[in-house]
Amino acid sequence: MQVSVLSVGERLGDKPGNAFIADAGDTGARLTVGVRWDSDDTLRVNYDSRLRLFRNEAKVRRVDVKYVPVTGTP
């Protein structure tokens, strides 16, 4: 599971997520995240707390990214 923050008109291409990268490994967790804009410069990512995190950047460009681990499906 990957989340990227892109500029308007920017193409994702074949690059890894620049904000969030996770997988379930053998945890049985579902690979789902909830993403929403709290404001023009703050993104909230809700994710299953059982996921293995490989990247969770607090800031991507001018965007603050807040992560909220939840029990079960976000």
What would the pLDDT profile of 49-64 be if each residue is shown by its tens digit? 999 999 999 999 999 9
Tell me the two tokens of residue 43. Answer: 């993104």
DSSP 6-71: --TT---TT---SSEEEE-TTS-----EEEEEEETTEEEEEEETTSEEEEE-SEETTEEEEEEEES
Domain parsing of the chain, residue ranges: 2-70
**pTM given for the model:** 0.87
Per-residue pLDDT tens over the stretch 10-55: 998 898 999 999 999 998 888 889 999 999 999 999 999 999 999 9
Q: How many CB atoms lie within 10 A of CB 71?
A: 8
